[in-house]
Amino acid sequence: MTQSPATPLPSPKERRRLREAKSLSQAEIAARVGVTRETVRSWEAGRSKPRGRKRDIYARLLAELANERTVAGELTGERAGERSVRRPSWARDAPPAIDAKDGKSPARIPVGAAMNGHTRPDPVVRTPPAAPSAAGPDPSGPRAGATTPAEAFDTLCVTCAPGLVRQTYLLTGRRTLAQESVERAFQLAWQRWPEVAVDRDPAGWVRAAAYEYAMSPWHRLRPTHRHPDAPPAEAADRAFLKVLMSLPPAQRRTLLLYDGVGLDLPDTAAETEASTPATANRLLNAREVIAEKLPDQASTPEALHQRLGELCGAEKLRPPNAARVRTGSEHRARFWTRAAIAFTALIVGATALTLRSAPTHYEPPQSPGKAINDIPPHMGPAHLTYADQLLHKKLREDLSSGPEKLTPLAR
């Protein structure tokens, strides 16, 4: 009896890249394969290898993720003038992935769907590529499907801004600050769009910028933030938001990223710039506080995730307009550029004035007088003594002209 060869698997780095390309968390992969999140993390790190039936399910799932963009370009036969789409060797002839629970291929649910208001899975639309013309592509015309940076930025803003405003509101408890933080984050993203466009997770880049701006301690000095915002209309929402605002900012952010957005623990630790054990402790402490104060609303992580999504959906917050964000970002960048130029010119002018008015040679200071060999130093004019005053008076009273001055008197 011969044993069937093992199903091929990609490298650990390729496994993580395929998962992140489809915006799937390690918990979602673990649920499909039927293992724990720590097992998937160990597979992606290369510390262990899947075995048996779990290996087959995991390999089929990775093959499906790799084939989603290439299966539409595959044809039944080679067409004239067309090149076949090549897949990696480990993904060829691999059957579709199945779920470990019911044996079906499940639809992918986007990460953080409850925070963005989506409840249905997003289907993968597969469109066959258009056949190339006999004359070939027109080099002078624009490329088909090419988007400008402004269009790509507008798409990112329209897609991520509504959910990000709600998340920031849960982080701060202030509606105006949440809208301002998201708008400022997208303005910063447009200023650094060449960097954000090639980022692995542009939405995560904007989210981190919005959270950092919203949690700045300088906001407490603003006059508009001395009084809290109006609480939610529902009593349960008011109680939940009050308990959420009582948490320390670090625990609140960790809870929002893990139980609200749906990030796994390593990604949450990386975004909060903390170690994985510290992030786990913050999450556990925040859950304990909420479960102790609100046992009927958030006693389990699933109920807490649902409760965060309900509180997000209850608030009607206005997301920023993409065109206005781009215009405001350009005006802001232009203002600070002009301010930097003016400040530089001021420094150059002050330096030139200092060089113009500064002395060109060294002038040693006058040293104080000092007695040498009992001879008093010359200190300039001094007060007349009593004898000098008598002599001065006598000289003034005597005649200054006449023979008396020229001819000596005999005595």
Q: Pick from 95-109, 211-225, 301-315 the range whose average pLDDT is largest.
A: 211-225
For residue 372, the cross-strand partners are 375
CA angle 356, 360, 366 (to 5 degrees): 125
Over residues 58-87, mean pLDDT: 57
For residues 101 and 225, state if they share a domain.
no
pLDDT of residue 340: 95
Which pLDDT tens digit goes with each residue over 180-191?
Answer: 999 999 999 999
For residues 107 and 195, state if they share a domain.
no
For residues 198 and 104, state if they share a domain.
no
Which pLDDT tens digit goes with each residue over 341-375?
Answer: 999 999 999 999 999 998 888 888 887 767 667 66
Furthest C-alpha separation in the chain:
164
Residue 35: partners with Cβ closer than 8 Å, 6 or more residues away: 54
pLDDT of residue 188: 92
For residues 314 and 169, state if they share a domain.
yes
Give residue 281's Cα distance to chain centre: 23
For residues 291 and 169, state if they share a domain.
yes
Over residues 218-232, mean pLDDT: 81
- Cα–Cα distance for residue pair 217/240, rounded to 1 Å: 23
pLDDT at 162 over 50: yes
Contact 305, 259 (CB under 8 A): yes
Helix (H, G, I), strand (E, B) or coil at 375: strand
For residues 262 and 318, state if they share a domain.
yes
What does each C-alpha distance from 404 to 351, 400, 407, 408, 411 come to in angstroms?
A: 71, 9, 6, 7, 14
Residue 196 lies in a domain: yes
Nearest alpha carbon to residue 19 among 56, 66, 69, 88: 66
- Cα–Cα distance for residue pair 289/240, rounded to 1 Å: 11
Looking at residue 141, what DSSP letter applies? S
- Cα–Cα distance for residue pair 297/71, rounded to 1 Å: 45
Confidence of residue 292 (pLDDT cuts 50, 70, 90): confident
pLDDT of residue 353: 93
pLDDT of residue 74: 46
Which pLDDT tens digit goes with each residue over 107-155?
Answer: 333 334 434 443 333 332 333 333 333 333 444 444 445 678 889 999 9
pLDDT of residue 379: 65
**Structural domains in the chain (count):** 2
For residues 241 and 166, state if they share a domain.
yes
What does each C-alpha distance from 233 to 17, 174, 298, 314, 315 come to in angstroms?
A: 43, 15, 19, 9, 10
Give percent of the chain above pLDDT 90: 14
CATH of the domain at 17: 1.10.260.40
89-98, 253-262, 333-342, 398-407: which range is least confident on average? Answer: 89-98
CB-facing half-sphere around the CA of 300: CA atoms within 13 A: 3
Residue 388 lies in a domain: no
Give percent of the chain above pLDDT 70: 73
Q: For 345, phi and psi rounded to 5 degrees?
A: -65, -35
For residues 97 and 194, state if they share a domain.
no
For residues 160 and 306, state if they share a domain.
yes
Q: Which of 322, 354, 386 is the last residue of a domain?
A: 322
Average pLDDT, the chain: 76
77-86, 287-296, 319-328: which range is least confident on average? Answer: 77-86
Residue 42 lies in a domain: yes
pLDDT at 53 over 90: no
For residues 20 and 97, state if they share a domain.
yes
Residue 410 lies in a domain: no
Q: Which of 268, 303, 322 is the last residue of a domain?
A: 322
For residues 179 and 298, state if they share a domain.
yes
Residue 282 lies in a domain: yes
Residue 370 lies in a domain: no
pLDDT of residue 407: 59
Over residues 74-80, mean pLDDT: 41
Residue 117 lies in a domain: no
CATH of the domain at 178: 1.20.140.160
Residue 1 lies in a domain: no
Over residues 303-313, mean pLDDT: 82
pLDDT at 6 over 80: no
For residues 210 and 302, state if they share a domain.
yes
Q: Please report the sign of the dihedral spanned by the C-alpha atoms of residue 95, residue 71, residue 84, residue 9.
A: negative
- Residue in this structure with the two tokens 């300088």, named with its chain if needed: 218
The boundaries of the domain holding residue 38 are 12-71+87-111
